[in-house]
């Protein structure tokens, strides 16, 4: 019983720490082939699988507001309500919605940060400009 009291907190701490380390892993220089855009390099991957809608949207907005122009992000989530709202919040962050890819366990949204003086395209307009 004494050993259980010692090792259980360590195990719980390890699980929480491992979860944070895995989620903080940036998949820099990941290559994706997006329809209509060709092969692009992903600068940062945001993994929100298992998170609620509010957390997904708030953290996405914080990251996109601080991003450099031209950066490409991959946002992964299994929460349908979060996936539906992200493309509509992108113009407020000066970003462009590139594509949404539906996979078996999650959906991935690809986003490009625009130049400060340019206006991003409307999320409903999917025609090339």
CA distances from 109 to 10, 27, 33, 89, 118 (A): 36, 15, 13, 13, 21
- What's the rounded Cα separation, in Å, for the pair 38 and 52? 31
Task: List the domain range (segments joined by +) for residue 35.
Answer: 26-113
Q: What is the mean pLDDT of residues 58-86?
A: 89
Contact 95, 64 (CB under 8 A): yes
Asked if residue 17 belongs to a domain, the reply is no
47 belongs to a structural domain:
yes
Look at residue 28 in the predicted model and tell me its pLDDT. Answer: 45
Residue-level pLDDT at 112: 93
Task: Pick 98 or 127 by higher pLDDT.
Answer: 98
pLDDT for the residue numbered 96: 93
Position 34 pLDDT exceeds 90: no
In a domain, 56, yes or no: yes
Q: In the predicted model, is pLDDT for residue 3 greater than 60?
A: no
- Tell me the CATH number at 34: 3.30.110.40
- Domains contained in the chain, number: 1
- Residue 70 resides in a domain: yes
Mean pLDDT of 43-71: 88
């Amino acid at each position: 019983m004494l050993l259980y009291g010692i090792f259980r907190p360590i195990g719980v701490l390890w699980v929480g720490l491992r979860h944070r380390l895995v989620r903080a892993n940036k998949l820099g220089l990941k290559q994706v082939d997006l329809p209509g855009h060709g092969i692009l390099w992903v600068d940062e991957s945001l993994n929100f699988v298992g998170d609620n809608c509010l957390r997904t949207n708030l953290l996405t907005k914080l990251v996109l507001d601080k991003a450099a122009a031209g950066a490409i992000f991959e946002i992964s989530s299994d929460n349908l309500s979060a996936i539906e709202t992200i493309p509509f919040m992108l113009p407020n962050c000066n970003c462009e919605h590139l594509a949404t890819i539906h996979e078996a366990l999650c959906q991935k949204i690809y986003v490009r940060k625009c130049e400060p003086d340019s206006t991003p395209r409307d999320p409903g307009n999917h025609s090339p400009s």
